[in-house]
């Protein structure tokens, strides 16, 4: 039943909400939907997911919970990513403009060895395990003087990208596929602030080629698991 004119509108719920963000939605769109449904002004998410990505987006509803977002953001995270070798985009994801193509990628010795040899895979990936310095993508939400880098990149403005310090706990090869542009599916467990797109870029460089993240799924943040997350369509059912 719609609210009657002049009725006092009260918040419907406050707390934590784990949402399976669909591909094509921004994290802000999910927050806006939750804000509209709950009628709570203070709503925020615990870690941005790019529009091309899907998976766990933890949303804090109400002032008491948005104040604790940093606590959730600092929890370990898990991702699955599909790395395409031999093609580079300016955003390091499928939404960007193609910058370069390595037409000989399928026959490069390091690439072939990585696709076929598990011990070589582990040796290559080991260099990113632990506390590392990482260069964020130019198209990212990281801010310089209060302005997101993606906003400056879209305007072709010049700016310096500085490394950030992150922690990666494990990188596992799930599967590999041969082809004109080979693909590798990886499972990554990491800490706050890790850019999976940057990791894909750097692994490709180590294999003497280029690459980008074609698919990305966040499987968990701390105890919030993808299997327990609500679809966007199911959000109204909890209110």
**Which residues, 6 or more positions from 152, have their beta carbon under 8 angstroms from its beta carbon?**
144, 159
Q: What angle do CA 133, 66, 59 make, to 5 degrees?
A: 80
CA 91, 95, 98, 102 torsion-angle sign = positive
Answer whether 83's CB lies under 8 Å from 183's CB.
Answer: yes
Please confirm, yes or no, whether 223 is among the known catalytic residues.
no
CA distance 49 to 79: 11
Distance CA 10, CA 36 (A): 12
Which residue out of 50, 102, 169, 202 is catalytically annotated? 50
- Annotated catalytic residues are 50
């Amino acid at each position: 039943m719609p609210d009657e004119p002049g009725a006092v509108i009260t918040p419907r719920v406050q707390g934590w909400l784990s949402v399976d963000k669909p591909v094509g939605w921004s994290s802000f769109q999910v927050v806006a939907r939750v804000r509209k449904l709950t009628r709570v002004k203070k709503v925020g998410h615990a870690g941005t997911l790019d529009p091309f990505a899907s998976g766990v987006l933890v949303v804090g509803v109400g002032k008491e919970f948005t104040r604790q977002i940093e606590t959730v953001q600092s929890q370990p995270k898990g991702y699955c990513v599909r790395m395409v070798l031999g093609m580079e985009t300016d955003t390091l994801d499928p939404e960007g403009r193609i910058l370069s193509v390595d037409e000989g990628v399928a026959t490069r010795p390091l690439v072939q060895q990585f696709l076929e040899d598990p011990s070589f895979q582990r040796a290559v990936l080991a260099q990113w395990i632990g506390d590392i310095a990482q260069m964020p993508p130019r198209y990212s939400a990281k801010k310089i003087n209060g302005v997101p880098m993606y906003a400056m990149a879209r305007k072709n403005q010049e700016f310096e990208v500085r490394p950030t310090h992150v922690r990666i706990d494990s990188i596992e090869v799930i599967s590999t596929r041969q082809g004109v542009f080979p693909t590798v599916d990886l499972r990554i467990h990491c800490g706050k602030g890790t850019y999976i797109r940057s990791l894909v870029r750097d692994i490709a460089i180590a294999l003497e080629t280029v690459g980008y993240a074609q698919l990305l799924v966040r499987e968990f943040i701390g105890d919030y698991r993808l299997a327990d997350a609500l679809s966007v369509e199911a959000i109204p059912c909890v209110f």
